Amino acid sequence: MLREEFPLLRDNPLVYLDSAATTQKPEGVIDRLKRFYEEENANVHRALYPLGDGATALYEGSRKIVKKFLNAPSSREIVFTSGTTGSLNFLAEVFGETLSRGDHILLTEMEHHSNLVPWQMAAKRHGLILDFIPVNGKGRLDLSWMGRNWSDRTKLVSLTHISNLLGTVNPLEEIIAFAHRRGVPVAVDGAQSVSRIPVDVRELDCDFFVFSGHKVYGPTGIGVLYGKEHLLERLPPRFGGGSMISSVTLEESTWAELPQRFEAGTPPIAQAVGLGEALSWLESRGREKISRHERNLTAYGVDRLRSLEGIELYGTGEEDQLGVISFNLTGLHAHDGVQFLAQGNLALRAGHHCAQPLIRKLGVPSAIRASFAAYSRESDVDRLAEALTETRSFFRKRGVL
């Protein structure tokens, strides 16, 4: 599906199954970046000449594209960052400053380190307490835990939309409604979801939503923090410098309006333009269509790998698993398996996938991960299944298995 639109994959025998780490880029995005640097490059805001005005219009135009893509109420609620990690670090640092010692932040056991380590750092700085919704044996969150263990001092829930290790699609609507009934905002890590599920922040009613450009067919170095306007207004800026100020004296400064107060210095202009192009591309190709494709491909992959001897699968294996299949070959280290597969031109990832607490809960040191995108094919899954059989045979003959 759509593979011919991706130059790196066109006429390439590579079986690329590492899209959860980064997606390949369609030709239109690559061309858009090239055109910006060749014909439109200038710094943004405050420019009094046509080239600068044009660059500013492109940059702010991309903000409007993101607003529409997420169905956010206002462009003022869209902050450009360096990526999901940058967005979550920003949120942990500045939201943490609004809290008091002994307040709680609720996370889950399946978080990527980007939605764990920043909160650990904030907890140490501000004397906060971290609580965790556990993951059950099926790879789902145990939501009954919230009813039994909710703290009256919980001030924020922050969780992933789709687990980057298990592919579990979390029931955000239920979790958000539970938190909102108790007056608590919810932040969502959408790094793995925006390219796979049509996201409507108004329908979800989440308070913050973050994602990275490079996981949604766009450039690296660009990400998004969406936040409800009344909440962003309460947050202090993280970085000081140009563009984020209203006025500066030697004694003090005042801040610019949203969202500029959170975008100090020269922003990632070309990357923002490229992100806008990527989101427009995704929209034009049909988000629902791509979502169905990935859902069908995930189900097909789970069935194919289940049929193989000596494969241990992780995740629900049902409809709430999307885009990601993690597994191990019994008796073989994940890194050995992936390196052998790479010799057959298959690109997968092995390790703890920046989710060490969840890997430990699974009782393994690491796992192999296959992940899909719009350009992935059933034939890629078939080749993976064949290669896993070859891998097992190779290591069995040498007495490793």
* Alpha-carbon torsion (246, 248, 253, 259), positive or negative: positive
The answer to whether 327 and 312 are in contact (CB under 8 A) is: yes
- Do both 391 and 328 map to the same domain? yes
pLDDT at 107: 98
Could you say which of 188, 354, 362, 381 is catalytic? 354
**Total domain count, the chain:** 2
* Nearest in space to 335 (alpha carbons), one of 351, 355, 357: 351
Burial class (CB in 10 A: 0-12, 13-18, 19+), 137: exposed
* Nearest in space to 327 (alpha carbons), one of 317, 337, 314: 314
- Do both 333 and 271 map to the same domain? no
- Do both 67 and 207 map to the same domain? yes
If phi > 0 it is left, if psi is from -120 to 50 it is alpha, else beta; for residue 399 that is left
The answer to whether 382 and 304 are in contact (CB under 8 A) is: yes
Collapsed DSSP state (helix, strand, coil) of residue 159:
strand
Chain mean pLDDT for the chain:
97
pLDDT at 1: 65
Helix or strand run (H / E) with residue 325: strand 324-329
- Do both 120 and 239 map to the same domain? yes
- Do both 114 and 137 map to the same domain? yes
In angstroms, the Cα distances linking 216 to 11, 83, 157, 393 are: 22, 11, 24, 36
Of 267, 284, 301, which one is at a domain's C-terminal end?
284
Site of tokens 């599920």: 197
- Do both 76 and 216 map to the same domain? yes
pLDDT at 140: 98
CATH number of 339's domain: 3.90.1150.10
- Do both 234 and 304 map to the same domain? no
pLDDT in tens, the chain (401 residues): 689 999 999 999 999 999 999 999 999 999 999 999 999 999 999 899 999 999 999 999 999 999 999 999 999 999 999 999 999 999 999 999 999 999 999 999 999 999 999 999 999 999 999 999 999 999 999 999 999 999 999 999 999 999 999 999 999 999 999 999 999 999 999 999 999 999 999 999 999 999 999 999 999 999 999 999 999 999 999 999 999 999 999 999 999 999 999 999 999 999 999 999 999 999 999 999 999 999 999 999 999 999 999 999 999 999 999 999 999 999 999 999 999 999 999 999 999 999 999 999 999 999 999 999 999 999 999 999 999 999 999 999 988 87
- Do both 353 and 313 map to the same domain? yes
Of 229, 260, 284, which one is at a domain's C-terminal end?
284
Domain that holds residue 78: 28-284
Of 231, 261, 284, which one is at a domain's C-terminal end?
284
Q: What is the pLDDT of residues 17-29, one digit of tens each?
A: 999 999 999 999 9
Does the annotation mark 354 as catalytic?
Answer: yes
DSSP state of 221: S
CATH number of 166's domain: 3.40.640.10
Q: Report how far residue 133's alpha carbon sits from residue 122's, in angstroms, rounded to the nearest whole number.
A: 19
- Do both 237 and 379 map to the same domain? no
- Do both 262 and 365 map to the same domain? no
Helix or strand run (H / E) with residue 327: strand 324-329
- Do both 110 and 237 map to the same domain? yes
- Do both 131 and 266 map to the same domain? yes
Rounded to the nearest 5 degrees, what angle is found at the Cα of 185, between the Cα atoms of 184 and 190?
145
